[in-house]
Amino acid sequence: MIAFDESAARVAVRGLRGEEHTSAEEAYARAVWSVLVEPGDGVAGAFVAEHGAAEALRRIDDSADPDVRRARARWAPRRQPGAVEAVLDAARRCGAALVVPGDAAWPTRLDDLGAHAPLALWRRGVATHAERPAVALVGARASTAYGEGVAADLAADLAAAGVAVVSGAAYGIDGACHRAALSAGGATVAFLAGGVDRPYPRGHEALLAQIAAAGTVWSETPCGAAPTKWRFLSRNRLIAAMSDAVVVVEAGWRSGSLNTAAHAATLGRPLGAVPGPVTSAASAGCHRVLREYDGVCVTSASDVLEMLGAGGSPPPAWEQARTDATTRLLDALSPRTGRSSDDVARRSGLAPDEAAILLGFAELEGRVLRDDDGAWRTAARAAAGGRTTG
Amino acid sequence: MIAFDESAARVAVRGLRGEEHTSAEEAYARAVWSVLVEPGDGVAGAFVAEHGAAEALRRIDDSADPDVRRARARWAPRRQPGAVEAVLDAARRCGAALVVPGDAAWPTRLDDLGAHAPLALWRRGVATHAERPAVALVGARASTAYGEGVAADLAADLAAAGVAVVSGAAYGIDGACHRAALSAGGATVAFLAGGVDRPYPRGHEALLAQIAAAGTVWSETPCGAAPTKWRFLSRNRLIAAMSDAVVVVEAGWRSGSLNTAAHAATLGRPLGAVPGPVTSAASAGCHRVLREYDGVCVTSASDVLEMLGAGGSPPPAWEQARTDATTRLLDALSPRTGRSSDDVARRSGLAPDEAAILLGFAELEGRVLRDDDGAWRTAARAAAGGRTTG
């Protein structure tokens, strides 16, 4: 049994909360939960959803739920005196906010994760962009100049179109996306695997400060938490859930960004990937997304905007050519040799009447010319396209 | 009314027929039809299917079918004395064979075109590869070194795997595919838009001779026919219909090979495309196939073989990582600092019992080490992968 009340909670979370709707007691209890459990703990998520965070904390030791009875063995080692207060102090020191469900700033898209939604979020920065469409642009740290260039173009164009660019602040593709979105004056959002007070990677400390100044840096792990491999994998589900579409920009065969793609597929988020040369190992993961997840082939920001719900594409233009009798007519003409209407009919396989009518239309359009003796020939412009192959 | 009998027909097609099942009269009548109509004439196809080719010829002038009455106006200009005999003579001169439905050599895959199937085929070469799976590899004449390299790799690997490589003998991608299939000692098939006695493009005269020597060169247009734009577009439906799968290797936004892709989609043939850099205009058509036709992303011959019916792909390997408690365990260990089992449990968010069991397994696998004082640390090999990001 973990005991506290509203007034004690209010003191504990002082300085960490804005104009929020959720009570201090509930917010504090969620902070405690975020210290006790690893990200994505579905038993904790279901238990908190059933009783509320504060009441669930009080019931940990007495619950008859067999899942909870098993889980509390893994939660117990983290129940240490002062652990929660140390996290709250660290958050205050770095200017982080504690954001919980019910708060105006809570990203409700994350609720799609159900029992695996984060129990609390820690935030650096103030802008939350909840009203904007959001697109995750993710990729490998081991990026190429090609991948970084495409990432920067996509991110800048999407940011300029009012889309928030969500990524993971890693070296390589992630960093290129955040930077381009910032340069375009747009909104960008980073999710970290460790605490928001521990900029990771260290070489992106300045970039993370810029993101926090213009956008938002989020983590579900408490301040002081190290960015472990498990937390990176768990963090990826938040990037996918936070976004209206997920695009893998450049990724090798085993890139962690494919894990983000898997979460997007599980969540039903539109999923795309940017292709690259099949000879480039750095694009092999993108091609897996196209093949194994039937991802959308993304070549530009407009392709991504279409993923956000613009609906179906128009019928392919090249199909129009197939029923075009004028093509056959022009095939049968020469720019040099004049031909009679009947000769044109025979060469094109058109009825003489039809050939004569089509020749008349083509003459009006300036595509064919009639000599003084009545012979037809192609105008120079039409002839240029007359003998192209399929 | 066009009159002839079996003995006259036998004389007419002498030297153009092998050990075939279809009567000389029917074969000759189909040769006449292939002279009278342009490729893909659905009215002619339906009329011939209803009455047989010879009887349909006899009924042309008397038919009450309104479609036929309209169509014969476009067939009439080609009914010229000696036209058919000139075609048959030209075929004999170039060593071509006349192949019609019912013949052992007839490619029955083409029957999927229904009324738009060719009325007759003209063939140079003897191998028909009817028993082999066939894949169309098509693309633009304006190819890059990247596209030609991928084309050659795909064609050689497919040919080596016993697949017939079907293409259009054009410059660029088509030529690279035929050449690589020949070099690999495999089967290759070319469909021409004009007569098989008119090698096109002229620069591929030698290549077409090689294809005819080792494989097959087909056309539905009679000897002497020019390769017009209409015939290229019509020819593309045969490339698609002849193949068990169609792959666009490299193609610009408006490449004619997208027309072949459209035919493949209409026929329900598996359709794929090789991606390339999104910054390369030469790959833009491939990306259209991936987007607009939901084509399969092809990166290697094995991807194409999978399209031929190997069935579903295995579940993506990266999903396995998500439920791996050992990942969390290894995250909580250091190669330098020894940690107690309880400390590891707290850091990993695992129950102490579970952590102890997993540590034991990991020790058996050589992934962790136990010091003399009972403290755990990661073995060097495991540590190398312990802090990678997602």
Residue A99 lies in a domain: no
The alpha-carbon radius of gyration of chain B (Å, integer) is 30
pLDDT digits (tens, 9 = 90+) for A208-236: 999 999 999 999 999 999 999 999 999 99
Residue A168 forms contact with B (CB below 8 Å) = yes
Closest CA to A169 of A204, A216, A127: A204
Start-end of H helices in chain A: 6-12, 24-36, 42-51, 53-59, 66-75, 83-94, 145-160, 173-183, 205-214, 229-242, 257-267, 284-292, 301-307, 325-331, 341-348, 352-364, 380-384
Residue A80 forms contact with B (CB below 8 Å) = yes
**Could you tell me the sign of the dihedral formed by the alpha carbons of A222, A224, A228, A232, in that order?**
positive
| B302 and B321 part of one domain | no
Is the pLDDT reported for residue A389 higher than 50? no
Residue A109 lies in a domain: no
Please report the pLDDT score of residue B117 as a whole number: 97
Window from A123-137, A146-160, B246-260, B309-323 with minimum mean pLDDT: B309-323
Where is pLDDT greater, at B357 or B288? B288
**Percent of chain A residues topping a pLDDT of 90:** 72
Residue A339 DSSP class: B
Q: Searching chain A, which residue's CA lies closest to the CA of residue B278?
A: A299
Which residue among B168, B230, B318 places its CB closest to the CB of A258? B318
Please report the pLDDT score of residue A315 as a whole number: 38
Task: Quickly tell me which residue has 């309880």 as its tokens.
Answer: B342
Write b or e for each residue in B40-70: b if 16 or more Cβ atoms lie within 10 A of its Cβ, otherwise e: bbebbbbbbeeebbbebbebbeebeeeebee
Reading the block at residue A114, the tokens are 């159900």
Report the predicted TM-score, pTM, of the whole model to 2 decimal places: 0.81
Confidence of residue B28 (pLDDT cuts 50, 70, 90): very high
User: Are B228 and A331 within 8 A, CB to CB?
Assistant: yes
Please report the pLDDT score of residue B380 as a whole number: 66
| A144 and A248 part of one domain | yes
Collect all residues with Cβ–Cβ distance below 8 Å to B372 and sequence separation of at least 6: none
| A287 and A339 part of one domain | no
Interface subset of B 98-137, CB within 8 angstroms of A: none
| B209 and B353 part of one domain | no
| B285 and B163 part of one domain | yes
**A297/B277 CB distance under 8 A:** no
Is the pLDDT reported for residue A390 higher than 70? no
Neighbour tally for B183: CB within 10 Å: 12
Cα gap B149→A295, rounded to integer Å: 26
pLDDT digits (tens, 9 = 90+) for B102-135: 998 999 999 999 999 999 999 999 877 778 899 9
Please report the pLDDT score of residue A385 as a whole number: 39
**Strands A216-219, A368-370: parallel, antiparallel or unpaired by DSSP?**
unpaired
pLDDT digits (tens, 9 = 90+) for A234-254: 999 999 999 999 999 999 999
**B254/A348 CB distance under 8 A:** no
| B275 and B325 part of one domain | no
**B259/A390 CB distance under 8 A:** yes
Q: What is the DSSP string of B223-292?
A: TT----HHHHHHHHHHHHHH-SEEEEEE--TT-THHHHHHHHHHHT--EEE----TT-GGGHHHHHHHHH
Residue B116 lies in a domain: no
| Domain finish residue from A46, A79, A94 | A94
Residue B66 forms contact with A (CB below 8 Å) = no
Average pLDDT on A270-296 reads: 97
| Domain finish residue from A94, A120, A142 | A94
| B142 and B274 part of one domain | yes
Residue A111 lies in a domain: no
Cα gap B168→B217, rounded to integer Å: 9
Residue A119 lies in a domain: no
Confidence of residue B1 (pLDDT cuts 50, 70, 90): low
Cα gap A145→A152, rounded to integer Å: 10
Cα gap A271→A259, rounded to integer Å: 12
Residue B346 lies in a domain: yes
Which residue among B146, B256, B275 places its CB closest to the CB of A287? B275
Would you report the helix, strand and coil content of chain B in percent, each value rounded to 5? Answer: 50, 10, 40
Reading the block at residue A341, the tokens are 């209407």
Residue B202 DSSP class: G
Cα gap B208→B213, rounded to integer Å: 9
Please give, rounded to a whole number of angstroms, the shortest distance from the CA of A197 to a CA of chain B.
18
| B148 and B274 part of one domain | yes
Most A CBs within 10 A among B113, B237, B289, B297, hence the mutation to make, goes to B297
pLDDT digits (tens, 9 = 90+) for A71-115: 999 999 999 889 999 999 999 999 999 999 999 999 999 999 999
| B291 and B239 part of one domain | yes
Where is pLDDT greater, at A27 or A326? A27
User: Are A345 and B74 within 8 A, CB to CB?
Assistant: yes
| Domain finish residue from B307, B339, B367 | B307
**A229/B278 CB distance under 8 A:** no
Closest CA to B176 of B144, B216, B212: B144
Write b or e for each residue in B27-37: b if 16 or more Cβ atoms lie within 10 A of its Cβ, otherwise e: bbbbbbbbbbb
CB-hemisphere CA count at 13 Å for A224? 14
Q: Cα A234 to the chain's mean position, in Å? A: 16
| A245 and A330 part of one domain | no
Average pLDDT on B192-210 reads: 97
User: Are B359 and B329 within 8 A, CB to CB?
Assistant: yes
Q: Please report the ipTM that was assigned to this predicted complex.
A: 0.77
Please report the pLDDT score of residue B302 as a whole number: 96
Window from A117-121, B47-51, B73-77 with minimum mean pLDDT: B73-77
Task: Quickly tell me which residue has 């690259």 as its tokens.
Answer: A276
| B324 and B295 part of one domain | no
Domain that holds residue A20: 6-94
Cα gap B140→B173, rounded to integer Å: 6
CB < 8 Å to A330, chain B? 229
pLDDT digits (tens, 9 = 90+) for A290-303: 999 999 999 999 99
CATH value at residue B275: 3.40.50.450
Confidence of residue B361 (pLDDT cuts 50, 70, 90): confident
Cα gap B177→B165, rounded to integer Å: 7
| B355 and B267 part of one domain | no
* Summary mean pLDDT of chain B: 89
Would you report the helix, strand and coil content of chain A in percent, each value rounded to 5? Answer: 50, 10, 40
Residue B122 lies in a domain: no
Q: In what order do the strands lie in the sheet with A245-250?
A: A97-99, A121-124, A216-219, A188-191, A164-167, A134-139, A245-250, A271-273, A296-297
**Strands B134-139, B245-250: parallel, antiparallel or unpaired by DSSP?**
parallel
Average pLDDT on A1-28 reads: 86
Q: How many domains does chain B have?
A: 3
Residue B107 lies in a domain: no
Most B CBs within 10 A among A144, A191, A198, A230, hence the mutation to make, goes to A230
Average pLDDT on A269-283 reads: 98
Start-end of H helices in B308-384: 325-331, 341-348, 352-364, 380-384
